Chain A
Amino acid sequence: MSLIHVSVFSLVATLIGTSRNSRWRGWGLLTGSVLAIYWLQPATPVRHFDFWLPTIALALTIFVWVATHRKRSFDIRSEIFTALVIAALVLGVGFTRYLTIGWHLTQTRPPSTLNILVALIGFGLISFLLLRIRRESRLGLWLLAFLILGLFIIIKSDQLATWASRAARVWTGQFPELASSADVSWLGFSYLALRLLHTLRDQTTGRLPALSLQEYVTYVIFFPALTAGPIDRADRFVRDLRAARRITAVHVVEGGTRIVFGLFKKFVLADSLAIIALNSANALQVKSSLWLWILLYAYAAQIYLDFSGYTDVAVGIGRLAGIELPENFDRPYLKPNIVAFWNSWHITMAKWFRAYFFNPLTRFFLRSKHKLSPWMVIFLAQLSTMALIGLWHGVTWNFLVWGIWHGLGLYIHNRWVAFLKARSHVLPPSLYSNRGLKAASVLLTFHFVTIGWVWFALPEIGLSMTVLGRLFGM
């Protein structure tokens, strides 16, 4: 999000939040979110991708709603009306192709109206098909889950994304030789995928509340949280959406303050630190270990300020619109252990993986025929959850190692706590309240996390290992 995006979103959110009519507020949020998904999508070298990627995101969202919505919960006519409004908005974005350059909502000129109409009819037919499948089995849910996961793996893997770009270039008549993974930069898909999978899973367990199409689409592509989260839960989000309260001056003051702080963190602090933060270009140029540590600390600060800055902006804009988005960060670098760190770093994502991967996996291990020892269950569950979190950032060896690093850290901490617990009767109670020990724990946790950032910041394992060696004078 640029400063212009933030300014426009803040104004739109305030207009929506101050609306006296709650129905109009709902339509305002839906319209704003649908238009924002196109406006925020960056241009890609593949022709019209900046239009089709958001359109596919919208279509996927509607497919999942069709597969998960509760029958007879809502008036079918109003749902069809919502679908038509969304289609009209997509067509409206497409119509901007007839305006002069600079007036398109997308970064480049949208495709022809005929192509858009054909696509919309195609999506409508798929929705109808899903509705038919849905009546008979859960096949639709599984198909959608695999489709979302498949798309996710494609865009997060360099090789697969390049192949996808090559295929798209052949389709559009462009040079396939110029295909690159960067062509498939699908804005916000990581977050969108988690929200869609969350609703698919909650539908099978019966925890998903009844949501209208308008509410569901607004939840999945809510414009402040589109680019960098937080990953809200549908049941919590819809409670705010239905609360139908006008914002007060408190919301404006608090929301505005969060936005200003967020902008300062992102555009002043994080962007300045980016100049001296560790990256693949400067990693081998640095002359001494001391400087390498400074660059690594700068990276640790930059990634926190960048990410939490965006969260502040999202929470602030959400507040202006009358939606309380969940917090994503809670002073993570001041935590005394790695568990506390993961309870305060990218909180909503960590909660998602805990709820939809760690807990089911642990239950699976505990119920399996081949009984595993508790420590083995914890080891496998933590390691695989963190490895998956690593891969969520990108399907590369470095992200995988970063995840395993944290998984090992969590496991070692778990064993350490168990070790201390077993000896609690011989350990003095004052040990736990010792300030020096607490400070040392914070320092140790911070450095554990910071060393882990080496794999996160650098794209290759070999380079990461070289940098790690140099950090310790090797």
Chain B
Amino acid sequence: MVNRVGSTYFNRPFVWRTVGIVLLRALVLFVVLNLVYALLNPLAFLGQISLYNLLYPGRSRLPYGSDPKRSYNLTITQLEAMLASHEIHRTSKTGDEYRVLILGDSSVWGFLLKPDQTLSARINSSDYRTSSGRRVRAFNLGYPTMSIIKDLLLLERGLRYQPDLIIWFVTLESLPTWKQLDSPITQRNPGPTRGLIQRHDIRLDPQDEKFLDLSFWDRTIIGQRRQLADLVRLQLYGAMWASTSVYHHIP
């Protein structure tokens, strides 16, 4: 630009045509970027890029929080990002580890509980051993909504981490069919949830209107600006989680 500033073109009196051309070029570039992004649909890939378990330790509970500024946590529904921020994502299982996954609703997640009061934390602090001497290591995959298909969705992901035991807390309140798709996780992950319905022949409508299917527009940068911002915020709150161990504000 330095060279062009001295040119006749740039020094002549301003005309709206100039700004029109600049804006048009910017618009074209912006549209192209959005189209490419929508075609690639890279949100799932981006969700796997995480500073957790790299710069700071993974979270001991899945990200969930209605007051991010106080709890240094936020609610996101993107499964890849949720699990990438969890401590279970850290390392492959060692030989002497007996891996336990705990699933359930807010009681398992530990709503209004301090970090050391959750079931998984109590198990870990007890330093249990199996009869063969393997150290019991519990991971909290609970999430504060009542729906067993939501639990199933998390269980399917959790199986990738080679659990030896799964403890799944179910209350009657999480069983009704009409409640299954009320959880934002199931609504915002229509593909994986429909997959579960088909594979396990669950009596739920795969075309239920509660599913939030993304239109092409929703897959653009503009359409996904909130999800993208949340991914960045999740990483930033990770620094606060690492520095304070706070991830849930208890009034």
Binding site for B on A (CB under 8 A): 14, 17-18, 246-253, 256, 272, 275-276, 281-282, 285-288, 291-292, 294-295
- Asked if B236 and A247 sit within 8 Å, CB to CB, the answer is no
User: Which residues of chain B have C-beta atoms less than 8 A from A285's C-beta?
Assistant: 243-244, 246
User: Which residues of chain A have C-beta atoms less than 8 A from B9's C-beta?
Assistant: 249
- Asked if B233 and A18 sit within 8 Å, CB to CB, the answer is no
Number of A-B residue pairs with CB-CB distance less than 8 Å in the complex they form: 65
B10 is contacted by which of A249, A281, A286, A287 (Cβ under 8 Å)? A249
Binding site for A on B (CB under 8 A): 1, 5, 9-16, 18-19, 22, 69-70, 232-233, 236-237, 239-240, 242-246
Given the known interface contacts A14-B19, A272-B232, A275-B237, the answer about A249 and B14 at a Cβ–Cβ threshold of 8 Å is yes
CA distance A16 to B233 in the complex (A): 39
- Asked if B243 and A294 sit within 8 Å, CB to CB, the answer is yes
CA distance A281 to B236 in the complex (A): 16
User: Which residues of chain B have C-beta atoms less than 8 A from A276's C-beta?
Assistant: 236, 239-240, 243
User: Which residues of chain A have C-beta atoms less than 8 A from B18's C-beta?
Assistant: 249, 252
- Asked if B10 and A248 sit within 8 Å, CB to CB, the answer is yes
CA distance A256 to B25 in the complex (A): 14
CA distance A32 to B236 in the complex (A): 39
B14 is contacted by which of A248, A275, A292, A294 (Cβ under 8 Å)? A248
User: Which residues of chain A have C-beta atoms less than 8 A from B10's C-beta?
Assistant: 248-250, 253
A382 → chain B closest CB, angstroms: 36
CA distance A59 to B179 in the complex (A): 61
Given A250-B5, A286-B243: 7 more A-B contacts, CB < 8 Å: A247-B14, A248-B11, A249-B18, A252-B14, A253-B5, A275-B239, A281-B70
- Asked if B236 and A272 sit within 8 Å, CB to CB, the answer is yes
User: Which residues of chain B have C-beta atoms less than 8 A from A272's C-beta?
Assistant: 232-233, 236
A18 is contacted by which of B5, B16, B22 (Cβ under 8 Å)? B16
- Asked if B236 and A248 sit within 8 Å, CB to CB, the answer is no
User: Which residues of chain B have C-beta atoms less than 8 A from A252's C-beta?
Assistant: 14, 18-19, 22
Q: Which residue of chain A lies nearest to B229 when distances are taken between CB atoms in the complex?
A: A272
A275 is contacted by which of B11, B15, B233 (Cβ under 8 Å)? B233
User: Which residues of chain A have C-beta atoms less than 8 A from B19's C-beta?
Assistant: 14, 252
B243 is contacted by which of A247, A249, A287 (Cβ under 8 Å)? A287
- Asked if A275 and B243 sit within 8 Å, CB to CB, the answer is no
Of all A-B residue pairs in the complex, the 5 with the closest CB atoms, nearest first, are A291-B243, A285-B244, A275-B236, A276-B239, A249-B10
Q: Which residue of chain A lies nearest to B239 when distances are taken between CB atoms in the complex?
A: A276
- Asked if A287 and B233 sit within 8 Å, CB to CB, the answer is no
A386 → chain B closest CB, angstroms: 31
Of the A-B pairs whose beta carbons lie under 8 Å apart in the complex, a sample of 18, sorted by A's number, is A246-B14, A248-B11, A248-B13, A249-B10, A249-B15, A250-B5, A250-B10, A251-B14, A252-B18, A272-B232, A275-B236, A276-B243, A282-B243, A285-B244, A291-B244, A292-B243, A294-B239, A295-B243
